[in-house]
Structures are given as structure tokens and as C-alpha cells.
Amino acid sequence: MRFRRRQGLRLEGLIEAGLALAAFLAVAVTLGIAGTLLWEALPFFREIGVAPLFGTEWAPLFAAPRYGLLPLLSGTLVITAIALLVSVPVGTILAIYLSEYAPSRAREILKPALELLSAVPTVVYGYFALLFVTPLLRRFLPDLGAFNMLSAGLVMGLMIVPYVSSLAEDAMRSVPMALREASYAMGATRLETSVRVVVPAAFSGLVSAYVLAVSRAVGETMVVAIAAGMQPNLSLDPRDPAQTVTSYIVQVTLGDLPHGSIGYQTIFVAGLSLFFVTLAFNIGGHFLRRRYREAY
Amino acid sequence: MSFESTLTVRVRRWRDRAFLALSLLCLALSLVALAALVGDLASNGLPRIDRAFLTSFPSRFASEAGLLAAWVGSLFVILVTAALAIPIGIAAGVYLEEYAPKNLWTNCLEVAMANLAGVPSIVFGLMALGLFVYRFGLGQSVLTAGLTLGLLVLPIVVVATRESLRAIPGYIREASFAVGGSKWQTIRHHVLPYSTGGILTGVIVAVSRALGETAPLVTVGALTFITFLPTSVMDPFTVLPIQMFNWVSRPQEDFHANAAAAGVLLLLLTLSLNGVALCLRYRSRKRVHW
């Protein structure tokens, strides 16, 4: 009996160690990503340095290469801004509706329907942006190019709406009922209760939803690669085509890429900037989310 | 909005209704956009789908090109992905929820997990290119692709596992401990079986996400013109979304119809998988009353 028990204990320990190892993989992968990006980008910094990155022209594969990241950043910025202009207001309004207005039966049907929007593969959204939304927009804006930032941004916004609305709704639903009841007891309408009681109480949760949405938009690839064209273009006009940090990586890796060449190194430089920007947003969003979870 | 007390009740009520109308409008717009997307793909793609389309290799001629290599490739890659993400994801979820003590170390694990869920998929592709393709010498193979997607969807499985474990009340565990069950016996015979529904939902969502993922596989170096089927995990590959990306990036309209047809298949797969997941979640929530 004693023997069996000791064996059992050893098994328990082994299992716990195995499970811990699986969880440790998350840390290992994070370190693996950061390490690989740094390692592969390092030769670039050693050879070319950091200063050329602030130039206004991005043409790393030309005979006279230019390494200014600004055109890629402007493309990323404009498209992210358009996407957020769509997804933040629409996502927030939908979250308020689902959490404060909708009867529970309507919510049970509408929430899954919205979630289907986020299940559509991004390459399909890219097709939709290029071959449906752009032709549609061209009826109203005749000088719109076949590739443009506007349609990519709008479709990306649509894609992020369910993401924002579900995170924001989670935050609002975790606000205790007593706060709402107090507000209703004072004679407030649903809108007044939502805007003046629920939204302020869920504020850090809402901000975390927006922060995670930014990170999503910055890192989104396929919609941009398909619908926004692939020319680096220092322009803030949404009707222009542009290249983003992500679609540059796609363009380069689509071609034949010798390991260790300068083109190969530049995609890791691009990836490194992407990783650190999204890392900052993700960790910020994570802590904001935890704050509202612990508040009540 | 700031001085409600000075407004008449009628104005305040009207504002309330106006907001309701606005939110219904937003809802309708989102759903109409989804309908337009599905409708547009279906009207352009459905006529293209026939037996030959599913059993032909890619071709320079749009009308002869088919999806065979792509869907077989997708199947291979998904099998590798599932073999990695499901066991490790569930194990990590069980550890974080049932075993992990609250200390700095597990806090790091939590942050790393939250960050992984938000790292852009293309960055996973870059890591795979540097690490799997070159450093480990796995090449641009099915194995590389499957591992990449497996790591990418791992957080989905972990989060789903943790949420369904958290939903199981403490007294179930206490009852098992009270009759002498060890920690692992409790988890193995009670906690895990009762949370199967939630975990399965997460697994299905993860598989559907991996099926539609394009960017990391472009980075890893998936080919678009393959005229043979993979026979082992070390073979080069293409997958459905890559094939669709290739067709949609061509200027010829004929290829756009092919892209739409590939899109219809992709949508059919991902939406039906998500539908199954939703049903499962709904049912397991309805059926179990603790």
C-alpha cells in the first residue's frame, strides 16, 4: 500500500511537470519570436545602421537602395486610422445595444451572428475589398484607384467590429446590476444609464478593447496586401495606394528570397518594429482588462 | 447630454429611442455587409465549382485550374496543427487554471500567453522562416506550416480550456478530494470530462482559424503552383487561402472567378465549423445546471 502510494505521488509530480512544460511553451515561443527577429535583423543594423530608417523613401531591393521606413509607416497609420474610425464607434454602439438594450433572446441570436463576421478568413475579406467594395466606392469617387487605402481600411474596420463589440460588451456586462438599478431608480433612461453609469464603470475594459483593436489593425496583413496595392507611398490621402509594414513582408516573401540577403534582413527589421508596437499594445490591453476584472 | 435635469422627459425619451435606432442601424449595416460578402462570393464562385475544379491541379489557364493540391495541402497542414495545438493547449490550460500558484513566474506565463494571442500572424510566419525553415532545417514543408499554425492557434485552445475549467464549481473538486482522489485523478476523472464541451468549442474555433490563415504561410514560403500531392510532412505544399490569394492577385478576370470559388469553399468550411462550435457552446450551456 505504501509502495503504491509513493508511486502515485511520483506520477502526480511527473504530470504536473509535464503540464507546466506545456504552459512554459508560451514563454518559449515569445522569446523565440523576439530572439529570431533580433538575430536575423542584426546584420542589417550592423551594415546599414539605424539612421537610414528615418528616410522618406523605401526601396530596399533597388540597385541604389533606400531604407526609409516612413512610407510603410504612413500606409500603416492611414489604414489603421480608417479601420478604427469604423470599428470603434460601431463596435461600441453595438456593445451598448447588446449589453443594455437587447432583450436576452435577441442577444442570443445576434451575438453569434456577429461572431461569424470574425470567422471569415482574412483573404476572403481581401477579395471583398478589392472586387466588391472598391468598385462600389468608385461609383461615388470616380478618381479612386483600383488599389487604395480607403477600401482596405473600411473592410478591415468591418472585420474588427465584432472583436471590439465582444470585448466591450464583456466589460459592460461585468458592471454590477446594482449600479444600473440605482440609476434607473433615479428616473434615468437606458441611454443615460449606459453613457453616464455603465460606460464610465467599464471604462478600463473599453479602453483595453480599443487598444487590442489597434494592435489587430496594425498587424493585419491580407486585406492590405490584396486591396491597397504594393507600392510604398508616402501619402496620407486614403484614395492613394500604399504599402504597409505587413504587406511589404508579403511582397518580399512571395518572391524568391535568398537566406541572409539584404531583402531577407529587411523583412525581419519590418517584423521587429511590428512585434514591438503590438507587444506594447497587447501588454497594455492585458493589464487594463485585468483591472476591470478585479474591480467588482 | 450633460444637463438631463433641465431637459423635458419627452426629449430624453426621444434621445433614448434615437440611440436604439442608431444601434439597430449599425447592426443592420454589419449584417448586410456580411450578406454582401457571402452573396458576392457565391454569385461569382458557385458556377465555377464542379468535379473537375476539385480534382485538378493549378494551371496557366483559368478554366483548367483546380483546387486539388490546395485542399489536400490544407488537410495535411491542419492535421499537423491539430496534433500540436490540441494536446499542448489543453495541457497548458489545465496547468494555468488548476496547478499554477500565484507568483511572479506564473504572472509571466499569463502575460506571455496574452501577448501571444495578439502577436500579428505574419510575425509568427517570420519566426517560422528564421527558426523552423533555416535554423532547424525543416524547409518550406507541411511540417513547418503545421507547426507555425499550431503555435498561432495555441492561445485559442488555452483560453477556451481555462474558461471551461473555471466554470466548474469548486465543490466538484472537493467531493473528489474528500473520497481520497488525488489532484490528477480529480482532473482526469471529473474536471476534464465535465468541461469537454467548452474545450471542444475552442478546438473547433482554432481549427477554423488555422484553415483560413494566409499571411504566415506566405512568409514561410508556401508555393502556389504545385502539380503533385504531398506524401509526407516534409513535402512542399500549398493551401486553400494561399491558392485564393494567388488567384485574386492576378489581373485576369477569369482567375477572379476561381478565387471566388476557392473563397466559397473556405467560407463554407470556416462558417460551418464556427456554426458547430456555437451550437456546442449553446447546448453545453443550456444542459448543465450545477
Q: Write the pLDDT tens digit of every residue in B60-103.
A: 777 778 888 889 999 999 999 999 999 999 999 999 999 988 88
User: How far is CA B27 from its chain centroid?
Assistant: 24
pLDDT at B128: 92
Q: What residue ranges of chain B have pLDDT lower than 70?
A: 1-5, 286-290
Nearest C-alpha neighbor of A212 from the set A289, A112, A285 = A285
State the ipTM, two decimals: 0.89
pLDDT of residue B139: 84
In this prediction, residue B33 carries a pLDDT of: 93
pLDDT, tens only, A156-214? 999 999 999 999 998 999 899 999 999 999 989 999 999 999 999 998 889 989 988 99
User: Residue A253 and residue A261: Cα distance in Å, rounded?
Assistant: 12
Would you say A262 and A203 are in contact if contact means Cβ atoms under 8 Å apart?
A: no
Phi, psi angles (nearest 5°) of residue A67: -115, 30
Mark which residues 125-144 of A lie under 8 Å from B by CB: 125-128, 130-132
How far apart are the CA of B161 and the nearest CA of chain A, in angstroms?
Answer: 12
pLDDT value, residue B5 = 59
Cα distance from B252 to chain A (closest Cα, Å)?
A: 12
Say which residues have a Cβ less than 8 Å from residue B135's Cβ, sequence separation at least 6.
A36
- 10 Å CB burial of residue A178 (0-12, 13-18, 19+) is exposed
Cα nearest neighbour of A22 on chain B = B92
Q: What is the pLDDT of residues A198-233, one digit of tens each?
A: 999 998 889 989 988 999 999 999 999 999 888 888
The answer to whether the Cβ–Cβ distance between A97 and B244 falls below 8 Å is no
Whether residues B119 and A275 touch (CB distance < 8 A) is answered with: yes
Question: Rounded distance, CA A282 to CA A8, Å?
Answer: 41
**How many whole angstroms separate alpha carbon B249 and alpha carbon A89?**
32
Q: What is the pLDDT of residue A122?
A: 94
Helices (H), chain A: 2-47, 70-96, 104-119, 122-128, 134-140, 149-173, 177-185, 190-193, 199-201, 203-219, 222-227, 245-254, 262-295
For B220, the closest chain A residue by CA position comes to A253
Q: Do A124 and B266 touch (CB under 8 A)?
A: yes
Please, what is the end-to-end C-alpha distance for chain B in angstroms? 44
d(CA A119, CA B183): 37
| CA separation for the pair B110, B91 (Å, rounded) | 15
How high is the pLDDT of residue A1? 42
Which chain B residue is nearest to residue A99, measuring alpha carbons? B23
Instruction: Report the gap between the CA of B153 and the closest CA in chain A (Å).
Output: 11
Interacting residues of A8 by C-beta distance below 8 A, sequence separation 6+: B182
Q: Collapsing DSSP states into helix, strand and coil, what is residue A59?
A: strand
pLDDT tens digits in sequence order for chain A, 296 residues long: 445 666 777 888 899 999 999 988 888 998 999 999 999 999 888 888 887 888 778 887 777 788 888 888 899 999 999 999 999 999 999 999 999 999 988 888 888 888 888 889 999 999 999 999 999 999 998 888 889 999 999 999 999 999 999 999 989 998 999 999 999 999 899 999 999 999 999 988 899 899 889 999 999 999 999 998 888 888 888 888 888 999 999 988 887 777 878 888 889 999 998 998 888 888 888 888 777 655 55
| Angle of helix B68-94 versus helix B240-248 axis, rounded to 10 | 130
* Bridge partners, A59 (sequence order): A66
Nearest to A8 by CA among B181, B193, B95, B179: B181
From residue A87, give the alpha-carbon distance in Å to each of A83, A92, A232.
Answer: 6, 8, 25
Distance CA A280, CA A282 (A): 6
Alpha-carbon distance A243 to nearest alpha carbon in chain B (angstroms): 15
